[in-house]
Amino acid sequence: MAIPYYHVDAFTGELFAGNPAGVCILPAFLADSVLQKIAIENRHSNTAFVVPRADGDFDFAGLRRRSRTTYAGTRP
């Protein structure tokens, strides 16, 4: 399965600064165990998984290499 993956530098306007993170855009959420393996493989401290919704917004899941994480305004 091909999964679009983006490397982002969060909390900065400069390249190679801020906090590096991965972002994967999925058609639907995969099992947590699979998301965790993707997060570990990409080796960033945080990986975000987003799924587009019909209303044009996105659902979000954030994982650290070893656990699921929450961010302000998101559900665990």
26 closest CA partner among 57, 42, 2: 2
Q: What is the pLDDT of residues 15-74, one digit of tens each?
A: 888 888 899 999 999 998 898 888 888 887 788 899 999 999 999 887 765 555 555 444
Lookup: tokens for 53: 């919704």
Walk me through the domains of the chain, giving residue ranges and CATH numbers. Answer: 24-71 (3.10.310.10)
CA-wise closest residue to 5 among 31, 33, 44: 44
pTM for the model: 0.74
Distance, in Å, from the CA atom of 54 to the CA atom of 38, rounded to the nearest integer, reads: 25
pLDDT at position 29 is 92
If DSSP codes are grouped into helix, strand and coil, which group holds residue 9?
A: strand
